[in-house]
Structure 1
């Protein structure tokens, strides 16, 4: 399974070909290309609380949802706190859209309700989308290094199995664009957190630098988490794009020192 790039009238986004082949789902990972924002937010900023003009952000949402085939009125998101809480979205949550504050904290969302557009926001952290085309269940995960160490993507798979009866071998996963090993330079706290959580299996995803710092491969660590959760390796797609390497294409918190917009990753059952 692969991550492929689409250009819809100048709006560039990424999608998993395996999701598209399975059908029945709308999904996409945004870039910063194809929106109407300007200044430091040029152009497709989907961050609602970054200081951008709200009307321009709403237009960006309209364009992105139209490009991927999702219903803007169905958008549901959460307050992301770099934890491992995964929340099932129910009919009681419908109507939580862009004009309301997120009523709960979670870094993962799962649902089996058609039309609900699960949404997570990133600007170096990893967006991970999950889809079971058999049981018709979707998930969206925000995984920074803390969430990776906590195993949030594993929690999301477990929620899909426990709440909706998914078979792990039916679940497809797409790890979207985020900071890659080449640019994610850290102190020892990050690799320590990974080895404490995942043991020696994390070591091949960590490189010691001559400076005494480390390069950490969050994409490989989350792919390993997904395989450990029971997913078939061929059902896991990983974007090669590094948000920090490609600042003209993606928002990167590290590259811009926080002066930025946000990407969004969305998924919805049709």
Structure 2
């Protein structure tokens, strides 16, 4: 599987060809391109907590969801806190208004209900979308370094199993996020990875000067998905680095937190 750029009605987003070919689902990873926001939020800001004009954000959602083919009025979100919690989503979780507050914290969402758009946010952390075309189950996960260390993608696969999904049937797409080239860290990040994964983490960690390291979060999450039982050919990884491409993506590191947000969406048909 590959993740490729798509342009629809002026909106640039990314999609995994394997999920598109499987049918029964729509999905997409947003970029900064194709929205109506201005200033530091220009232009496709999908963050509801970043301080952008709410009417601009509403129009951005309308445009992005229309571009990927998702219904605009059946959205489910969560308060993301860098955990490994994956929440099952029911119709009661559908937001009545885009700006309604969610009463729960989770970094993953899973459902087997058609028409519910699962939404997660990112701006360096990895957005991960999962789809089982056999049992018709979808999940979305937000994998920062803490979530990566605690195994958020494996928790998502486990939650999908509650709906009858088998790992070998699941397709996964790891969207654009900070890549190893730009994810320079102190020892706390590699220590968290090795504490969780032991020597399996070492191929994804490169020591550099002054006690710092480069860490490959995309590679670790792909490895974790394989450990959870997914076939390697069922895992697509975006090569786009949010920190390398500031004209296309928001990067929390590059902007020092003054930014909008990307969103990743998956919706069963």
TM-score, normalised by the number of residues in structure 1: 0.98
Who is 2:114 aligned against?
A: 114
SS in 1 for 2:156: helix
Kindly tell me the number of residue pairs found equivalent between the two proteins. Answer: 269
2:145 is the alignment partner of 1:151: no
Who is 2:125 aligned against?
A: 125
Work out the CA distance in 2 between the residues paired with 1:23 and 1:167: 18
Who is 1:218 aligned against?
A: 217
Shift of 1:95: 3.7
- Structure 2: gaps of 5 or more residues: none
Who is 1:198 aligned against?
A: 197
Work out the CA distance in 1 between the residues paired with 2:92 and 2:101: 15
Work out the CA distance in 2 between the residues paired with 1:99 and 1:164: 29
Who is 1:2 aligned against?
A: 2
Shift of 1:90: 1.4
Who is 1:82 aligned against?
A: 82
Work out the CA distance in 2 between the residues paired with 1:211 and 1:11: 42
> Comparing 5-14 with 168-177, which one deviates more in the overlay?
5-14
2:236 is the alignment partner of 1:229: no
Work out the CA distance in 2 between the residues paired with 1:130 and 1:80: 18
Shift of 1:97: 4.2
Alignment RMSD: 0.7
- Closer/same/farther in 2, CA of residues 75 and 164 from structure 1, 3 Å limit: same
SS in 2 for 1:19: helix
Residues 124 and 178, structure 1, Cα contact 8 Å, conserved in 2: yes
> Comparing 87-96 with 25-34, which one deviates more in the overlay?
87-96
Who is 1:257 aligned against?
A: 256
Q: Deviations over 1:185-211 (max 9, x none)?
A: 000000000000011010000000022
- Structure 1: gaps of 5 or more residues: none
Work out the CA distance in 2 between the residues paired with 1:23 and 1:229: 23
Shift of 1:103: 1.4
Who is 1:105 aligned against?
A: 105
Residues 96 and 102, structure 1, Cα contact 8 Å, conserved in 2: no
Work out the CA distance in 1 between the residues paired with 2:196 and 2:59: 41
Residues 76 and 96, structure 1, Cα contact 8 Å, conserved in 2: no
